[in-house]
Amino acid sequence: MKDIMIDQFQYTVGELLIRNKSILDLITKFQDSNARVNRGIVKAVTQCGCVKVNGKKQATLADADFDEIRKSMKTHLDGKLCDNCRDFIEKDIGRNLFYLASICNTLDLNLYDIIIKELDRVKMLGKYNLR
Ligand SMILES: [Zn+2]
């Protein structure tokens, strides 16, 4: 079911993309849409205030095991997105996915296949996949 939905999304995006069909336009639109996602997150902090950033150095646990390291790493984010900020950020992420799917179409790549391959890599590397 999910694979059909992703394929349908990628196909529909391909049908709707007309103005920015050039790979050059797509690359810059993708980058712009990514910047909008980041801007939405920053605005949730600086203009709305529903979330706060409390950044500081992450703890370094040289001899700690994976679970200890995972527990000690912080998001540096306090609070929860309000409905308004959540709505804006979701729309911006959707727009970002639109251009990602468009780039996949142009390069003849299948988004679902990419997700499956990445999932396999993440599962295979498991805790050694420290991103
Ligand atoms: Zn908010």
Domains in the chain, CATH or no CATH each: 2-128 (1.10.287)
Positions of the chain with pLDDT under 70: 1-2, 127-131
How much is the pTM?
Answer: 0.86
Q: What's the pLDDT at 94? A: 97
Q: What's the pLDDT at 95? A: 97
Secondary structure letter of residue 59 according to DSSP: P
Encode pLDDT of 9-43 as tens digits. 999 999 988 888 899 999 999 999 999 999 999 99
Residue pair 108/10 in contact by the 8 Å Cβ criterion: no
Separation of 92 CA from ligand 1 center, angstroms?
15
Separation of 97 CA from ligand 1 center, angstroms?
22
Separation of 78 CA from ligand 1 center, angstroms?
12
Separation of 37 CA from ligand 1 center, angstroms?
14
Q: What's the pLDDT at 17? A: 84
Residue pair 89/100 in contact by the 8 Å Cβ criterion: no
Q: What's the pLDDT at 41? A: 97
